[in-house]
Amino acid sequence: MTDTSPPEIALEARQSQAARLFSPSAARNRDAIGDLLAGLLPPSARVLEIGSGTGEHAVSVCQRRPDIDWQPSDPDAASRASQNAWAAEAAPNMRPSLDLDLTRPGWAAKLEGFDALVCLNVIHIAPWAVAEAIAAASQTLIADGGLVYLYGPYLEGAGTAPSNLDFDRSLKSRNSSWGVRARADVEALFGAAGWDAPERHEMPANNLSLVFRRRSSF
């Protein structure tokens, strides 16, 4: 059955238990994301997640794939503490979270050798420069045969879900640099960085998973 509820509001109130944070939207979509990612990641993959939030998505994937090595990150200290608390309790294959702010020059300078870059519900609550930074860094951070996985709502012209249009207006009213991104713009950005047109997977609440793989001739 198709889920027609509005897309997740990333600025929701998060519940907490000690350092661990709980996100209602993560509770709704973590299984769908976890199942998809668990089937996409190569064996023993080293994964970099940008903007890991509460850490619940990372735990969901790591529990499904104990062979992988997951590097969470976030510019928010409370989120990093939550990710580390979740890792200590439920996911020993998660590394200590990194303080990565993609608006700071040189954020990726000491990073290398990942098989996948994962970014969930981030590029619509950040300046477009963050999406550009991800695309640019993906050219050198991700090993041959690796992938980039983006999850979230997208504008798709006349086919855009009404709830995503409403969400776009709401985001822009909070911050003029935010907004639901046009799928065509995101695909063009990563295409220019050497990635093939993505596999597209429909997800709950009018979201999409975009899976980019390296263009063989790039």
For 121-179, the pLDDT digits (tens) are 999 999 999 999 999 999 999 999 999 999 999 999 999 999 999 999 999 999 999 99
Q: Which two tokens stand for residue 34?
A: 């976890």
Residue 203 main-chain phi, psi, to 5 deg: -130, 175
Q: What is the pLDDT of residues 1-49, one digit of tens each?
A: 334 444 444 444 455 567 999 888 888 999 999 999 999 999 999 999 9
- Owner of token pair 């050497």: 194
Residue 152's φ and ψ, nearest 5 degrees, are 160, -175
What average pLDDT does the segment 91-98 reach? Answer: 98
Q: Write down the pLDDT at residue 14.
A: 52
**Confidence (pTM):** 0.91
The SS3 assignment for 49 reads strand
pLDDT of the residue at 150: 98
